[in-house]
Structure 1
């Protein structure tokens, strides 16, 4: 707690039934509070009996998590930091419109928000409402597109269709931010979400897996650089990963014949090139889903070996969806992807206080309390946000 630069106060906000509490289980699991096998089904932050019975969050629930970043990951943080350990104070808030007062109170005490959107349903009415509330409170958002398992297993979308779905959701969220935000010239600066920057996650909270472009960029930097990658320092490696992330989204294409990236959808020979996001990110995921769900045992074994996934003895006999959950959790653990996104991109209280104090404190800006907010050692300032009867 004494390392204020390494604290992240954040809320999880979304439309009702978009998977906030299920996704929060992955974060709680990473902190070692619940077993990984139960993550996605426990709904740990739904503590009341009526919440468990109705499968809906009614009251905001707070929980503190500790997460330690690797030396390589620390180089992605642009704000002040103090060591590798981070304290994350998380509030899981309701998504139903009837409990919007709970969301308001949760946002008022936090500095960042994880906005969860069902990639099948897209941006809904309450998504816009809670995001508008967050922006009004000067809360910086990051986005998580949830329920990818439904898009692959139920809708059976093709890779390009899935990419276009993701692109529309990112655009819709950014339209809301630009409509209600203060723009780049505002006190928060540019808060638009962008997969290239690592502020957008993709995955399945129910199955316990997720990723950002950063995870795959790190894999491909290691693969393309081969032996030379081990000699790179953390700062050089971070720069290469950031450059790779720019190639994994948008109208960037990959020519597997030459092994080069292109801004053109056709090769010099006239061959149609696949989009890099589809070829280098979605295609491996689709192959895992196809092999396991269609019971292709030989292909499944090869993929597990190629991805260097170690299965426990009790998991080796599983088939179908139970095996899919285990493999995807081991390959792309949701807890790691989300906690990295939260610690790297959401502001610390030190950063957020510079532009949030004038909203939280309603007194004159030159009195003793206001001036004390600018000092490290002054009287404690308390804001009462919700009174319970």
Structure 2
């Protein structure tokens, strides 16, 4: 069941400070579209049990046939910030309109990623915990930093570390740390000093 109405979304459009545009970027097959499905499911737009299989952001026939994202696609969601997350936020500022943009991960469609990032406030960089930082991961990170977009790293497919590699908790943690260190190498290479420190820290 959708947990917001068209009228609520329309009302939020009058308050730009309560609108956030977010791109999901990653190497191909690292789970961008599945994660986007889960976020859309959490907003009540699709059933949570359909998240991952529905691939709601892949709307073109060739995307469905090939199982990859070719064109960036956006969807709008409503989010209410509960008091337990941010206590000092005024009640009339707790509702946000989130425009989620799912962008391609394949190298052939990098221009779509740049276009998505240019209308974005933040970028969610999805990294497969087993495969780690791949060529296109570095490319999309560079694109985000070039557009002065702060990246947020999301380590995905943790179940692969448990079920496929059968790592114990410490080994899995060290694998995550190594992935974040590799992300930081890319960030330090392409970071714009104007942005300040945008590296990620596993201990925080």
TM-score w.r.t. the length of structure 1 is 0.47
Secondary structure of the corresponding residue to residue 62 of structure 1? strand
Q: 1:144-163 residue pairs with structure 2 within 5 A?
A: 144-163=154-173
What residue number does 2:54 align with? 42
How many residues align structurally?
192
Q: As a proportion of its length, which structure holds more strand?
A: 2
Residue ranges of structure 2 left out of the alignment (5+ in a row): 1-12
Mapped to 2, the partners of 1:35 and 1:150 lie a distance apart of 24
What residue number does 1:14 align with? 26
Question: Does the C-alpha gap of structure 1 residues 26 and 60 become closer, same or farther in structure 2, counting only changes over 3 Å?
Answer: same
Deviation of 1:76 (Å): 8.8
2:112 to 102, 106, 129: 102
1:174 to 180, 184, 189: 184
Mapped to 2, the partners of 1:153 and 1:3 lie a distance apart of 45
Deviation of 1:111 (Å): 1.6
Counterpart contact for 2:177–2:202, Cα < 8 Å: no
How much is the aligned-residue C-alpha RMSD, in angstroms? Answer: 1.8
Residue ranges of structure 1 left out of the alignment (5+ in a row): 198-389
Question: Does the C-alpha gap of structure 1 residues 174 and 81 become closer, same or farther in structure 2, counting only changes over 3 Å?
Answer: farther
Mapped to 2, the partners of 1:87 and 1:81 lie a distance apart of 15
Which structure ranks higher in relative contact order (CA pairs < 8 Å, sequence separation ≥ 6)?
2
Q: As a proportion of its length, which structure holds more helix?
A: 1
TM-score w.r.t. the length of structure 2 is 0.89
Question: Does the C-alpha gap of structure 1 residues 83 and 196 become closer, same or farther in structure 2, counting only changes over 3 Å?
Answer: farther
Counterpart contact for 1:3–1:82, Cα < 8 Å: no
| Residue 189 (1) aligns with residue 199 (2) | no
Deviation of 1:194 (Å): 2.6
Counterpart contact for 2:128–2:156, Cα < 8 Å: yes
Secondary structure of the corresponding residue to residue 71 of structure 2? coil
Deviation of 1:196 (Å): 4.6
Deviation of 1:11 (Å): 0.6
